[in-house]
Structure 1
Amino acid sequence: MARSSRLTRLDAFSKTVEDARIKTTSGGIVTLISVLVVMYLIAGEVGDYRRIEVVPELIVDKSRGEQLPISLNITFPHMPCNLLTLDVMDVSGEQQSGVTHGIHLTRLSKFPESSPIDITALDLHADEAPHLAPDYCGECYGATPPDGKKCCNTCTEVREAYEKMGWAFGLGEGVTQCEREHYGEHIKAMSEEGCNISGHLQVNKVVGNFHFAPGKSFSTPQMHVHDLQQFFESPKEHKLSHTIHHLSFGPDLPVGEVSHNPLDGATHEAPERAYNYMYFIKVVSTSFLPLGVKPGQDGAIETHQYSVTSHERSLQGGSDKEHPDTLHARGGIPGVFFSYDISPMKVVNREVRQRTFVGLLTGICAIIGGTLTVATLVDRTVYEGLGKMKKMHEG
């Protein structure tokens, strides 16, 4: 009994007997309002607990030997597909000329209709002669035959031989193989068309560039050049106007967690044939870690974001119309160039909860306790006020 008596003196929750309790209408109203307020505030606390925010973190990118994925979709409304060439090169010395693997060329009708004509690979030699004499050996017209061959039996082989020598080829006038396959006629038939280029590339994750330029490309130890004869001699004035529907370096992040790719939807109209566009891109490695996922685990998204600045100029050189004090260099290759640089930093976006479960419980207890305390004061004030008013009326 002594121990129970000592604990009784510590009781902070004194009780009143049932007969000493008074229930009033005003008290019922205050109680009902208090319950509604508590429910509303607890719902807000639970909503805050369930809310997930993305916290960015900047670290040094320690990855090595990775490949950089490039996804692109670009339309050239005034350039036929047979004239466009996609090349990739980087500072490591690796070059990819005339890239076709993973790339889809869609021929488009004459601008402004620009509707798809064909999505298959270009066939400029559809009329290749199927029946040649077994001992036939076509001339290479002064060029060295392609690797592993002694003759140039088709227009393609003559073109490859010319490319190997670094010679311009043109429409193949005077070349028996090309005249037999109607190569020049196919080229002229496509002169009014446009072209859409879409697909994916894999490049080394080092400083480099990929570009679209007219004519077959070939490289020497000193330079990288294109056969521009068809481009400049064509009666149709081809221009490098283009629309970038999509350009990204990796998979898209969840909607709302990253800004739109900067170049998506960009459109440029070339004022003349000899024109050059350059996009300078800074690529930043980016990771997205959903709630509870750690780096390297399934569910983590590895991609890249980028920023870009652009420059355009006429290859004729001269002063800038908008900036008279600026002089543009003369010469160069007409085309659309994308030069990319790799940032040494990496952005890690983590999904985290704003509040912990312990914080949720603490908040709920604070809401209940605070609401009941305030309700008690309000009820006491109302009860005593009504009591005094009743006495005043009776008196």
Structure 2
Amino acid sequence: MRVKQALKSIDAFPRAEDHLLHKTQSGALVSIVGLVIMATLFLHELRYYFPTYTLHQMSVDLKRGESLPIHINMTFPSLPCDVLSVDAIDMSGKHEVDLDTNIWKLRINSYGQIIGTEYLSDLVEKGHAHHNHDDDKEHHEHSNETAHGHGFDQDAENMIKKVKQALAHGEGCQVYGVLDVQRVAGNFHVSVHGLNIFVAQMIFEGSNHVNVSHMIHDLSFGPKYPGLHNPLDGTERILHSASGTFKYYIKIVPTEYRYISKEVLPTNQFSVTEYFTPMTEFDKKWPAVYFLYDLSPITVTIKEERRSFLHFITRLCAVLGGTFALTGMLDRWMFRLIESFTSPSIRSSTR
């Protein structure tokens, strides 16, 4: 008996007899409000617990010997596919020749509709001997020697006629696919550098007439992960009066995205700075769109994490318990306030 009495003495939730309980309309109203608040906060805590969140960590990039995938999808509305070439070179002067690289060129009309396609397997400019992405003069000297060696044949004349006809009809070109290059600093550019200099002169009548207006639909250096933003996606650069060269200086940050399932996705994110150099009548360089990239020595690791269940329970108890205690205090205050107004009228009526 003493044990039972001792246990009853530490009861934190004593219960009154039913006939001592007094239920009021104000108490019912406070109870309903409290239940609504607790249900709302409970749902809010559930929404806070179930979604994952990300942690960012940085470390030194130790990757070596891996390739760098470059996903491109661009449209040149003022240049036909026959004159466009995609060239790549790294800082060591080596050319990336990968026959497995998939690059496609789509012919589009002035309304943006596809009217033809062309597959490119070798996209590397073979006339360079040194790393110099502005060395157009050297490229054209090589083309000059080639022209004297082979002559201005019927094929070149047919191409000139074909391209001029395409320009007259407002034909453009969409270039898309993947370039696999070495994981070192370098550049790739889209230009008319693949043309023989005499052919280019016959077509455009000067470098300042080459319109390299372009729209970048997608430019990325690896697969996309949740929350990734590529700053050049959706970029439009349209030239109306003068031509020129666009240069995008890109800083690539190696990135690893670790899903909650422990799956690791290696990719890259980047920042970019843009410059435009207008052409003049005396420039010997030909307009182009350059993407000059360099890699950061720091790797960013993004990890998906889920909040602790014990943390969820702790927050839930705090929210629901706090709401219950607050509504209980509010009920007592309302009861006393109502009683203070009604008690005098009751006493006066009994007199």
Is the structural similarity TM-score above 0.5? yes
Residue 203 in 1 paired to residue 172 in 2? no
Residue 266 in 1 paired to residue 236 in 2? yes
Match of 1:249 among 221, 227, 232: 221
Residue 87 in 1 paired to residue 53 in 2? no
Q: Give the deviation of 1:259 after TM superposition.
A: 2.4
CA deviation vs aligned residue, 1:45-104 (integer Å, no higher than 9, x gap): 222222433333333222221111111122233333232222211123321479894111
Alpha-carbon distance in 2 for matches of 1:33, 1:373: 13
Where structure 2 has 5 or more consecutive residues not aligned to the other structure, the ranges are 121-140, 167-171
Alpha-carbon distance in 2 for matches of 1:44, 1:100: 51
Alpha-carbon distance in 1 for matches of 2:293, 2:284: 22
| Structure 2 residue aligned with 1:301 | 265
- Tell me, yes or no, if the aligned pair for 1:86 and 1:99 is still in contact at 8 Å: no
> Using a 3 Å threshold, how does the CA distance of structure 1 residues 208 and 61 change in structure 2: closer, same or farther?
same
> Using a 3 Å threshold, how does the CA distance of structure 1 residues 386 and 348 change in structure 2: closer, same or farther?
same
Match of 1:345 among 277, 291, 298: 298
**Amino acid of the residue matched to residue 392 of structure 1?**
P
| Structure 2 residue aligned with 1:153 | none
> Using a 3 Å threshold, how does the CA distance of structure 1 residues 12 and 85 change in structure 2: closer, same or farther?
closer
Alpha-carbon distance in 1 for matches of 2:12, 2:196: 94
What are the within-5 Å matches in structure 2 for residues 363-374 of structure 1?
A: 363-374=315-326
Alpha-carbon distance in 2 for matches of 1:390, 1:278: 82
| Structure 2 residue aligned with 1:190 | 163
Q: Give the deviation of 1:341 after TM superposition.
A: 0.4
Q: CA RMSD in A?
A: 3.3
**Amino acid of the residue matched to residue 185 of structure 1?**
N
CA deviation vs aligned residue, 1:5-33 (integer Å, no higher than 9, x gap): 33333233333233332333333333233
**SS of residue in 1 equivalent to 2:19:** helix
| Structure 1 residue aligned with 2:72 | 72
**Amino acid of the residue matched to residue 117 of structure 2?**
I
- Tell me, yes or no, if the aligned pair for 1:173 and 1:184 is still in contact at 8 Å: no
Larger helix proportion, structure 1 or 2?
A: 2
Alpha-carbon distance in 2 for matches of 1:15, 1:108: 82
Match of 1:214 among 192, 196, 213: 192
Alpha-carbon distance in 2 for matches of 1:183, 1:331: 22
- Tell me, yes or no, if the aligned pair for 1:78 and 1:192 is still in contact at 8 Å: no
TM-score (normalizing by structure 1):
0.69
Match of 1:378 among 330, 339, 342: 330
- Tell me, yes or no, if the aligned pair for 2:38 and 2:319 is still in contact at 8 Å: yes
- Tell me, yes or no, if the aligned pair for 1:68 and 1:203 is still in contact at 8 Å: yes
**SS of residue in 2 equivalent to 1:167:** helix
- Tell me, yes or no, if the aligned pair for 2:248 and 2:292 is still in contact at 8 Å: yes
Alpha-carbon distance in 2 for matches of 1:277, 1:391: 86
| Structure 2 residue aligned with 1:118 | 116
Alpha-carbon distance in 2 for matches of 1:98, 1:331: 31
- Tell me, yes or no, if the aligned pair for 1:80 and 1:192 is still in contact at 8 Å: no
Q: Give the deviation of 1:280 after TM superposition.
A: 1.2
Q: Give the deviation of 1:373 after TM superposition.
A: 2.4
| Structure 2 residue aligned with 1:324 | none
Residue 34 in 1 paired to residue 34 in 2? yes
Q: Give the deviation of 1:209 after TM superposition.
A: 0.9
| Structure 2 residue aligned with 1:7 | 7
| Structure 2 residue aligned with 1:335 | 288
- Tell me, yes or no, if the aligned pair for 2:68 and 2:181 is still in contact at 8 Å: yes
> Using a 3 Å threshold, how does the CA distance of structure 1 residues 168 and 42 change in structure 2: closer, same or farther?
same
- Tell me, yes or no, if the aligned pair for 1:86 and 1:98 is still in contact at 8 Å: no
**Amino acid of the residue matched to residue 67 of structure 1?**
S
> Using a 3 Å threshold, how does the CA distance of structure 1 residues 270 and 208 change in structure 2: closer, same or farther?
farther
TM-score (normalizing by structure 2):
0.77
**Amino acid of the residue matched to residue 103 of structure 2?**
I
Q: Give the deviation of 1:118 after TM superposition.
A: 1.5
- Tell me, yes or no, if the aligned pair for 2:70 and 2:219 is still in contact at 8 Å: yes
Alpha-carbon distance in 2 for matches of 1:389, 1:87: 89
Q: Give the deviation of 1:207 after TM superposition.
A: 0.5
| Structure 2 residue aligned with 1:133 | none
**Amino acid of the residue matched to residue 10 of structure 2?**
L
Alpha-carbon distance in 2 for matches of 1:270, 1:344: 40
> Using a 3 Å threshold, how does the CA distance of structure 1 residues 197 and 22 change in structure 2: closer, same or farther?
closer
**SS of residue in 2 equivalent to 1:168:** helix
Match of 1:313 among 250, 272, 277: 277
**Amino acid of the residue matched to residue 284 of structure 1?**
V
Alpha-carbon distance in 1 for matches of 2:317, 2:93: 66
Q: Give the deviation of 1:190 after TM superposition.
A: 2.2
